[in-house]
Amino acid sequence: MTRDELHSLVAERLGVEPDSLTGDANLVQMGRESLTVMRIVNQLKRAGATVRYSDLISRPTLDSWWQNVSQGGNG
């Protein structure tokens, strides 16, 4: 998965335009719910990423999520 694909996936799941989603935006404040994050984790896993729900929920920015995805869940 590329960073652009992650960006598009998160924007779609949050129901926002990709241009409005910056890397340092707090996804908690943008209205993401735990169910939304679980769905994103499932989609990432289907795309071959090694990620954990707890890692994404504890660091709720796109930049952090990309770091986690790109490092194979070790971010």
d(CA 28, CA 56): 11
Q: What integer pLDDT is reported at residue 10 of this predicted model?
A: 92
Helices marked H in 15-61: 34-46, 53-58
Token pair, residue 47, equals 């795309």
Q: What integer pLDDT is reported at residue 4 of this predicted model?
A: 94
Q: What integer pLDDT is reported at residue 69 of this predicted model?
A: 93
Whole-prediction pTM: 0.85
Q: What integer pLDDT is reported at residue 36 of this predicted model?
A: 87
Q: What integer pLDDT is reported at residue 32 of this predicted model?
A: 66
Q: What is the mean pLDDT of each run of 10 residues along the chain (75 residues)?
A: 93 90 87 82 92 91 94 69
Contact residues for 67 (Cβ-Cβ < 8 A; gap 6+): 75
Q: Which domains does the chain have, with CATH numbers?
A: 3-70 (1.10.1200.10)
Q: What integer pLDDT is reported at residue 64 of this predicted model?
A: 95
- Tallying the residues shown for the chain, one arrives at 75
